[in-house]
A and B are shown apart, each in its own frame.
Chain A
């Protein structure tokens, strides 16, 4: 801590500066008498200065690095943040490749947006995360609960049940290999327990959605173990006819800020799904872009785009302050999200793929029609 920040009269401060004391660390090891002699202060003055020097500052920062947190209330040094980030647990996706590009999974304190065409697996990923956040701490998981805000009506208990069962079976198998299960763990790995820790909120119009988000802090007080909030989707209610587009932008921005604040304060991960829309561009080729416009794209920390190439699903990190732009293939089976089974990785020749896609497909069709020797295409 700097001497300049101590509540001292200017004359005293000037004397301390003159004696070469700019930070409190140098003052820590001095007795009042020594300080009085060095800085030419009276003994009383020296004593009052030393009383103001916070004793704890040396213990809080290791290696004598000065903590600025007391200087600016609530602020942390970059080092502290790094330490925090190293230790935090991420919510895994159940797909190793996807985890890899996300460097371990979905992070607490961050808002991540998943975009994609219908059917690519946004909802499935959301449900999978709501299940995976509950992996007990003993097994290396986060061990938290989840709030699932469903605006599209696609959350189906039937599917959640199926995925939970699969997830628990896998965990039981994994944990029984390493160490014997204790009662506590057995109780945690129960379908009912799992499902009772997902809190579902159904939302039907934009007003309700805003109300739910405003009410989240209360909800979190009630369920204080929540480590993940999924909103599926943030978009649906805001694509109805809004007369006032500027108003919509404002509402969205406000919502984004609130979510970011909640994520930070409650130390939880927020995952939003977003729809996509066609954006016509100059050369008559429309592009697929995430919905809600340009200003919304600043609202979330990370953005992951999900898309198809032929019959393979891919996820691509579009925007992130800390992650590299990378692509991973994934699949969805009856157990939920999983690694791509088909290992023929055509990541390298995407461009080629893109342009030849249709032609290839036509060729395939023709071949299938000719010889019928491709079982995948015979009908």
Chain B
């Protein structure tokens, strides 16, 4: 019996990372979610776990130079219905919808600046033109000349109009783009009510205003075409996301060792590069009692699931993301039991669900939390002062009374390649975006409790 061979580490390649679709968060996670490992997102409800999952499902499809992995995504959804409308909405933003111009955080920070226009154009170009066609035509890197042209875009133009013009501009020289545009025209002509039929995908109808835009009036038709164009691309993005709804752990394990394995081995499809399980906690919520035998059985299932996931992650070089819920910890008496750090969200202490055994099953744990109200005001205050760590702290002390900002935080609880640190982010309709608040060092907020084990000898 001969085991797997040993490889000198120098022969390995650095693991690819699946970007999050936001440069600040990508920088925070040094590129994104690493392939070959299992990453867990923990958070209370409404902290953004599912949103981030959706965002990943889209961003994994981006070309490698845009931080994606140019692959297909598989989502195993265990909690009710998959939020497909939200996914489509995010997809339209990712495609650079005129209303969703800011696909980057940088864009949001200074909407007026010309750099934004340039940025958006690059963004649109890559997403529109190369993204979906990339499989056929391969990566195309923006040449220097093209970049320069983008840099010289008219500055004074309102963003919206610039974007409209840009479409024509690039239509002339981008082969890919032309093709997309042709498709787009064809669709708009042949299938007039196409998007009416597909409206449920798009959800709120003002996002899909093909008809509302008034196809008759000449100045608007460019914008309408533009929107259609985005919808089309967004649809393609959504088409590359496979969703499977699963209710029990047995079902999932069966699926993993049969259908999913076949899918991963499939030679002719775009390779799956990301598997999301949202959420893993829901699988184990039912069916298990809290007596000892059930707990043992549950724990062994954790390890079985995790072993399978890790195996696929390494074998097929894919990124795996699982989401997990939190449980409150109110048992102050049992402080001897506290094995893990307390995490804080919305001003209360919580602990990742599924216990200690499960935490051994993941390689990386990211904690998403909401920032309590009074701290939100600080966040609000600091959007202006970004880069000076010390200054930020000073301002912080003078704390003001702003309110209503949706402040949240992403924290690395443990990871093989990252220090324990945290990063603020906001959630908007465009998705999750990091806020570069604390330039110097992290807020060492996470507090670790003692393990009294054998220590007092």
Contacts and interface: CB of A to CB of B under 8 A. Distances in A.
Interface in B393-444: 393, 396-397, 399, 409, 413-417, 419-420, 422, 424, 443-444
Interface residues of A, number: 91
B92 interface: no
Contacts of A237: 303, 307
9 contacts: A153-B363, A197-B8, A200-B9, A211-B2, A236-B307, A287-B452, A288-B339, A358-B332, A361-B447
B8 A310 contact: no
Contacts of A327: 455
A119 B414 contact: yes
B455 A316 contact: yes
A152 B301 CA distance: 16
Nearest to B411: A379
Contacts of B445: 376-377, 379
B450 A307 contact: yes
Contact of B9 (A157, A288, A372): A157
Contacts of A355: 335-336
Contacts of A332: 419
Nearest to A118: B359
A240 B306 CA distance: 9
Nearest to A290: B453
Interface in B316-361: 332, 334-342, 344, 355-357, 359-360
A275 B359 CA distance: 10
Contacts, number: 247
Majority SS at the chain A contact face: mixed
B413 A204 contact: no
A343 interface: no
A285 B339 CA distance: 12
Interface string A306-348: 0111111010101000000101000011100000000000000
B419 A361 contact: no
A196 B10 contact: yes
Interface in B1-54: 1-15, 30, 34, 36-38
B451 A333 contact: no
A118 B365 contact: yes
Nearest to A312: B448
A296 interface: no
A310 B449 contact: yes
Contacts of B335: 354-355, 357-358
B313 interface: yes
Interface stretch (B140-148, B208-216, B262-270, B370-378): B370-378
A278 interface: yes
A285 B338 CA distance: 10
A158 B456 contact: no
Given A350-B452, A379-B443, 10 more contacts: A159-B416, A199-B6, A203-B3, A239-B357, A241-B300, A241-B303, A310-B448, A361-B447, A369-B374, A372-B378
Given A117-B359, A214-B3, A239-B357, A204 B307 contact: yes
B310 to A, nearest CB: 5
A285 B451 CA distance: 13
B152 interface: no
A307 to B, nearest CB: 3
A284 B335 CA distance: 12
